[in-house]
Structure 1
């Protein structure tokens, strides 16, 4: 960019990032190809009291992140 009118500045960023507490850590995950979303095991779902009908629902995704 050679013209000052084309420049922008990012002065802040906030959000919720799977597997990371902040933007910098999220960027490190992305650069490293690390998946921030985790999937629950059947045992974890049972312990959490997730109903069987929900577990059988084809649209249910047992993930967090």
Structure 2
């Protein structure tokens, strides 16, 4: 996975009863865009460091 600041990270819910979670990537320590990423979550506004797993999708900022 390779991201840029401004891209959105979407974590898919584990089942139909758990909503997906989305946030904007606000900082990437790796200059080549590799994880981990600092994400500001839309549902809480909190900023966290995340290592995306197989349930993560990336929506590139256009």
Scaled by the length of structure 2, the TM-score of the pair is 0.20
Q: Whose radius of gyration is greater, 1 or 2?
A: 1
